[in-house]
Structure 1
């Protein structure tokens, strides 16, 4: 009997020992980001190392995805081997939530903590059907600031930097007529977005009606589009603006003294500093001109936790750590992103005064994360709907359709296909 009891005690002891060992073994969390490597390897790796030091039971395996991000994420979910933390944007988060791929983060982190950490609008950007599905991360403002070449404005007789969108359109014509350089490169049909919608938002023209149907084909919408059609036909907008991302075209031409004004984030200044240091030193930075609505729009990234994650609690810890105020401010010191954390608006880093263009632009936009919102809700089936919208904008610019017909066709397609 004593031998049996001893054997039982030995078995129990081994079981407890094995259980303790299993409990102490590190949990590996797989973390996917989007287009952050290799430029930001140092920041991401340092932040992960700090997280692992603070959480010795968790190790992080980081992968940076690029063109294949969304496709790889969907495939991983379908195959049941999804990563634990994934970096998405506002539109992709909404689609993933609607498809049932994500865990609501307010079930992993107390709502009170989320509310205390992030701007209300930032939380709203990642909320679908009353549940929040992402930890807001770095953001940007579409309008941001305005950068300009003072010599080109002076040659064109533009004595004051435009403060309104209407003034920017007028200045663009004067600059091109008198200097040969383009005044400004508007985002007419940037890939994978419906960028022209931003001008409707800027002018206070609704994208949807009260019933939630697309309704951006009123005479007022068509008149606004026609202004840009006239500029394009008149040679006041580079032809590449309908083939490439406007930001890319603008930064390339600005560095060559072929564009006078850039409206957007401070990121453009980093490229200009590298490509034309002399022009960079002359560049002036002022608030972005706004439309009649008087508001900025923008977007942000977030970190989500897939339902297929095998370690949701540990994933939530990592996501909350990466997106906290300290780490977002640290990121803003590496690249001029706009933090989505409430505490950022009072941070000393964004209250600096400097003549350096990047420092000045960063201080102007960095504390403005409360403004980050997409302007209008993304439709379902957004890839197809946005492509059709862009195709119709291009048809109007090229004179293949009138502005009104182009918008009529886009609205018809949007309402017929956005729910598919």
Structure 2
């Protein structure tokens, strides 16, 4: 009897311990980049939904901001990596090249290709393998807002649909109104901006590891912009100020007829000059011959060293699913990258809105399938961008010909091995 009672007691203890073990919560550390505190309600709301559906998983949300990339590298060396990390195109490539990331294609399986737009997946594909689940993205151009009063004053009857048509449009606006028609991004602080101009027109940047922009076609395109700059058809401050900031300033003052960007470009205008906002209308931004809608994108990655890779992948997929991406795009005008987001009824509805911000939001959200990173990730971007930008500036200032500037930049690139 005593033996039987002891056996039963041990069985009950074992059962209790097994049940407790089964219910023990797995904790995931989720690092984001510059999302807190502005988007805390959204992020924490998605996490709460996930935890309700997965009661054995707890997610710790940590926003690392400017220190994220370095802290991630340090965490690997210390053996205390987060489980899900918000990276971007360049940082995803660097982490993948260093062997730090889970192959998402192998982890998710063939169905991965159906979950996100192909272009977005390609942004995080390195060596034929997908290392990041596409999250939210943004266009460099996206939409073009225009001051209809200035457009009418300039006698413009048809808005430009291509970047090639923008040159003639800008000349007409400047001649007839004194205002600028266009403030293209030619040299911005983030570096290598004019490379995006080349890609937009279908001109290559690299062939293998060699610079491919030292050609007569590239030089002719660069010279087109140089001519506009020297004739004061485009603002002289474009070599000194970030184009998006300058565009907002000039457009708000009624000194620029168009502003190219996302809906966020219109928020400050609405606050600072209601009359110009009221005169503003929105259309899709002119597109280059390369038919590329350039932009940037964010990913969610799972480090190889995660202690809970299965649960981490489950959460990363949940955070980036279509419903949650669309919900985020309703809060802030980002571009959803989950396949089918463009068909959401909300975006269909606001595309026909008379309000410029609403209309622009609907237009860019519906165009996510066409978004792709313009400049491929580079091995040494800081030095390569500087060499390129220094030569581009020299060409604009007349210190070098367009062809010589590109030849010198290409030589510098090819020596950076």
Contact 1:190 1:244 in 2 (8 A): yes
Farther-moved stretch of structure 1 (195-204 vs 6-15): 6-15
Please give the secondary structure, in 2, of the residue aligned with 1:301.
Answer: strand
Please give the secondary structure, in 2, of the residue aligned with 1:342.
Answer: coil
Q: Which residue of 2 aligns with 1:101?
A: 100
How far is the alpha carbon of 1:355 from its aligned partner? 1.0
The partner residue of 1:318 within 305, 311, 315 is 315
How far is the alpha carbon of 1:215 from its aligned partner? 1.0
Contact 1:192 1:387 in 2 (8 A): no
Q: Which residue of 1 aligns with 2:370?
A: 371
Please give the secondary structure, in 1, of the residue aligned with 2:415.
Answer: helix
Q: Which residue of 1 aligns with 2:257?
A: 260
* Aligned length in residues: 415
**How far apart, in 2, do the equivalents of 1:311 and 1:191 lie?**
39
Farther-moved stretch of structure 1 (20-29 vs 258-267): 20-29
Please give the secondary structure, in 2, of the residue aligned with 1:148.
Answer: strand
What are the superposed Cα offsets for residues 259-304 of structure 1, whole Å, 9 maximum, x if unpaired?
A: 2211222221223223323322221111211222333222321111
How far is the alpha carbon of 1:83 from its aligned partner? 1.6
**How far apart, in 2, do the equivalents of 1:134 and 1:90 lie?**
9
What are the superposed Cα offsets for residues 353-392 of structure 1, whole Å, 9 maximum, x if unpaired?
A: 2111122222222121111112342221223222322222
The partner residue of 1:280 within 252, 263, 277 is 277
How far is the alpha carbon of 1:135 from its aligned partner? 0.7
Q: Alpha carbons of 1:28 and 1:187: their partners in 2 closer, same or farther (altered >3 Å)?
A: same
| TM-score for the superposition, normalised by structure 1 | 0.91
Please tell me whether residue 58 in structure 1 is matched to residue 38 in structure 2.
Answer: no
Q: Which residue of 2 aligns with 1:171?
A: 169
- Runs of 4 or more off by more than 4 Å in structure 1? 5-16
After the TM superposition, which residues 142-221 of structure 1 pair with which residues of structure 2 at under 5 Å, given as runs?
A: 142-209=140-207, 211-221=208-218
Q: Alpha carbons of 1:2 and 1:247: their partners in 2 closer, same or farther (altered >3 Å)?
A: same
**How far apart, in 2, do the equivalents of 1:299 and 1:411 lie?**
24
**How far apart, in 2, do the equivalents of 1:303 and 1:362 lie?**
23
**How far apart, in 2, do the equivalents of 1:397 and 1:66 lie?**
35
Q: Which residue of 2 aligns with 1:383?
A: 382
Please give the secondary structure, in 1, of the residue aligned with 2:297.
Answer: strand
Unaligned 5+ residue runs, structure 2? Answer: none
How far is the alpha carbon of 1:47 from its aligned partner? 1.4
The alignment yields a C-alpha RMSD, in angstroms, of: 2.3
What are the superposed Cα offsets for residues 208-254 of structure 1, whole Å, 9 maximum, x if unpaired?
A: 23x45211010111121122222233333334433443222212322
